[in-house]
Structure 1
Amino acid sequence: MRAVQVSEYVKVSIIRHHPNKAPLDLKVTTVPTPTPSPDKYLIEIHSAGTNFFDILQIQGKYQHQPPLPWIGGAEFAGTITALPTAGTSLKYKVGDRVFGATQGAYATHILAPEHTLLPVPSGWSFEDAAGLFVTAPTSYGGLVHRAGVKAGDWVLVHAAAGGVGLSAVQIAKAKGATVIATAGTARKREIAREFGADYVVDYTDKAWPEVVKKLCKENRSGNGAAGVDIVYDPVGMIEASLKCVAWNARLLVIGFAAGSIEKVALNRVLLKNVSIVGLHWGQYAKFETGTVGDVWKGIFDLVAQGKFRGTAFKDESFYGLESVPKALQALGGRETWGKVVVNVDDKAKSKL
């Protein structure tokens, strides 16, 4: 099989406004195709999703570093070509379309255990499904299970044009909330609107909290007029967001894409009677396995109702494993929206 194998760490960083600093040293090599194992399915990969942790991993900076050499990537969608050799009562059969996440997605084939796989939703392309495994449950788990989003809530979604952001916008809207989306470019704000945001705000404007407060004051009544009920923050903007929240607000700490872990003045937490809650979705499989099933059921229900669609970046396409460096460059440059996906072969274009 062909794969992007990492035999030594990439010694460059990928940061905004430095497009030439990219993982261009990554190469596609030929390695043995995995053979069926007792507990893993063999899957032909059609599309692979990219993540910021992939960038960290190829530089040796991620908390989970496989021993060299290893194959990059984690998220994928493809077709099952062989079953676990010791399997009984298997959930999937040869030919089934699945998506999931496990080490080694930047390849034409991968071995994956059953608990890491889910069926590709009916009518979905491999391209869209490849970006579903991380983003959708992060947003659903945060908004529904941690923040209890409900009809009538006002939800502020930061970095709303990113993969988790667009998922959050759709989930909040599906639950009957009004969404204020923040994004740093006109194109990203346009995308947030296309995915359902009611209002968009430029968070590069330092006065953005005042803009949010004004929107609430002009369009809400009662205690809610003071600000939003829920903040969804994958960036690291909790401190500033406390300036525009309502009484009893819930602030979700999803991540720190801005690069620094902020410190919060707790007097504001007290005065507005707010809750700040974290979400580490990756640990639910260890500590709350039942919640994992509930979350995916909720997501698939929204998909079936036509209230949730794929978030794959469409302004530029990435075909073939040779495009992985370019895709990671685009992701690291933060000029893309949604989920940057590499289409490993032309089959990824087909929805059926």
Structure 2
Amino acid sequence: MSQELHHHTMRAVTYTGAGGREVLSVEDLALPVPGTGEVLIKVTAAGINRADLLQRAGNYPVPEGASEVPGLEVAGTIEETGAGVGNWDFGTPVCALLAGGGYAEYVSVPAGQVVPVPDGVSLTDAAGLPEVAATCWSNLVQQAGVGRGDWVLVHGGTGGIGSFALQLLKALGARPVATAGSAEKVQRSLELGAEAAINHREEDFVARMKEITGGHGADVILDVMGAKYLEKNVAALAQGGRLVVIGLQGGASGTLPIGKVMGKNAVVTGTMLRPRPAEEKAGIMRDVAEHVWPLVTSGAIRTTTDAVFALEDVAAAQDRFEEADRTGKILLVTGETP
């Protein structure tokens, strides 16, 4: 199934090298052609993620075979399907998890990574859902096995991942606690579903976590900091606790107190979503559509969009992403900004 495309190029963002905003360029590129098992999406909006900025700085290599165009998630409509793809009609609203290529007017993606937009969510806001939903579900549920009543410490409660994780954890019956860097962000974390929130600039999160949990500690920690928090995270874990490191904002190499890990019978793991095989991503997105989208539709999880920028304003959009007062997702739109 396809509708004839009457043009062969598209606008897309490229990085002309490694560096700051000066390496950003919007160019005309060849339209992607969907291969076997792929669909072509006409992009309405793309979400900005930290990996995009790491890639811009030269610190996040593009996986083999992936587009050099940045962007790990989009929402839009089905434009064309490749061989071996059934069940997608032209014009169907969808969102997708990508290995790259999202900052563009069109993107080709394995069909398994494409899911319907949750009911009640606009096509623009939906662009901010796939990466964060897949990250939270795969790490908190599949990897760490979060269960009802588990104490879960989420670092950065008001960021894109944090704000989604708090809502998901609350909906799953866990007991989320957040760290945040200001009184306003502490309050916002509580509004998002945290049972308690810790201002990490004023309080020691290890001591506070013990206090909040009545001496128990964290059954699971979702960490975006890496090295800076490694030893403190292990100290904050409960017996049998699981530390899942998904970001390196505080450095890539730290000291792991192995004796404490052993003494707590704890598990320390690190994951990345982008380099995983397409089949694995498809499995994650199937679960997301089945288990997470109903929570979005019911309002238990709300999309949190901070700001929307036109594709041509990508430099301003990435600048906004890095600002400390951002709460929620930054989106790029290919048409008129809403």
1:127, 1:312 within 8 Å by CA — same for their partners in 2? no
User: Among residues 79, 90, 113, which one is paired with 1:94 in the alignment?
Assistant: 90
Q: State the Cα distance separating 1:40 from its structure 2 match.
A: 3.7
Note if 1:78 corresponds to 2:76: yes
Distance 2:236 2:30 in 1: 55
Deviates further, 225-234 or 176-185: 225-234
What are the within-5 Å matches in structure 2 for residues 1-352 of structure 1? 1-6=10-15, 8-12=16-20, 23-34=21-32, 39-64=37-62, 70-84=68-82, 86-87=83-84, 90-102=86-98, 103-205=100-202, 207-217=204-214, 225-236=215-226, 237-282=229-274, 283=276, 285=278, 290=283, 293-313=286-306, 317-346=307-336, 349=338
Q: CA deviation at 1:74?
A: 2.9
TM-score by length of 1: 0.82
- 1:324: how far off? 0.9
Corresponding residue SS for 2:24: coil
Cα distance, 1:190 vs structure 2: 2.8
Question: What code does the residue aligned with 1:80 have?
Answer: I
**Deviation of residue 291 (structure 1)?**
5.6
Over 3 Å counting, the alpha-carbon distance change for 1:207 and 1:92 in structure 2 is: same
Greater relative contact order (CA < 8 Å, ≥ 6 in sequence): 1
Q: CA–CA distance in 2 between the matches of 1:94 and 1:43?
A: 10
The alignment covers a number of residue pairs equal to 325
CA contact (8 A) 1:238 1:251 kept: no
Q: Where does residue 5 of structure 2 map in the other structure?
A: none
Which one-letter code corresponds to 2:272 in the other structure? H
Shift of 1:156: 0.9
What is the alpha-carbon distance in structure 2 between the residues aligned to residue 279 and residue 70 of structure 1? 22
Instruction: Find the aligned partners of 2:152 and 2:34 in 1 and give their Cα distance.
Output: 46
In the alignment, the residues of structure 2 paired with residue 97 and residue 185 of structure 1 have an alpha-carbon distance, to the nearest angstrom, of 38
Residues 246, 59 of structure 1: CA spacing in aligned structure 2 closer, same or farther, 3 A cutoff?
Answer: closer
| 8 A contact 1:75–1:101 mirrored in 2 | yes
User: For the structure 1 residues 287 and 100, does the alpha-carbon distance in structure 2 shift closer, same or farther, using more than 3 Å as the test?
Assistant: closer
Structure 2 counterpart SS, 1:80:
strand
Secondary structure of the structure 2 residue equivalent to 1:226: coil
Distance 1:345 1:264, change over 3 A: same
Q: Give yes or no for contact 2:170–2:176 (8 Å, CA) kept in 1.
A: yes
- Pair 1:96–1:168, CA change in 2 (3 A): same
The CA distance in 2 between the partners of 1:121 and 1:288, in whole Å, is: 18
Q: 2: CA distance between counterparts of 1:66 and 1:289?
A: 18
Distance 1:262 1:284 in 2: 28
Contact map agreement 2:133 2:292 (CA 8 A) in 1? yes
Q: Using the alignment, how far apart are the partners of 1:10 and 1:278 within structure 2?
A: 26
Report the Cα distance in structure 1 between the residues aligned to 2:199 and 2:34, rounded to whole angstroms: 50
Q: 1:251 to 1:5 in 2, by over 3 A?
A: closer
Q: How far, CA to CA, are the matches of 1:285 and 1:4 in structure 2?
A: 23
**Letter of the 1:293 counterpart:** R
CA 1:37/1:2 → structure 2, altered by over 3 Å: closer, same or farther? same
Check whether the contact 1:319–1:345 (CA below 8 A) recurs between aligned residues: no
User: TM-score, normalised on structure 2?
Assistant: 0.85
Please list the CA deviations of residues 138-196 of structure 1 after superposition, one character each: whole Å capped at 9, or x if unmatched. 11122212222222221111112122212221121111122111011233323322211
Give the Cα separation in 2 of the matches to 1:28 and 1:284.
29
CA RMSD of aligned residues (A): 2.8
CA distance in structure 2 between the aligned counterparts of 1:129 and 1:289, rounded to whole angstroms: 18
The structure richer in strand per residue is: 2
Q: Structure 2: which 5+ runs fail to align?
A: 1-9
Q: Does the 8 Å CA contact 1:24/1:326 hold for their aligned counterparts?
A: no
Deviation track 1:20-79 (CA, whole Å, cap 9, x = no partner) reads xxx144232334444666654332211111122212223333221789x94332321111
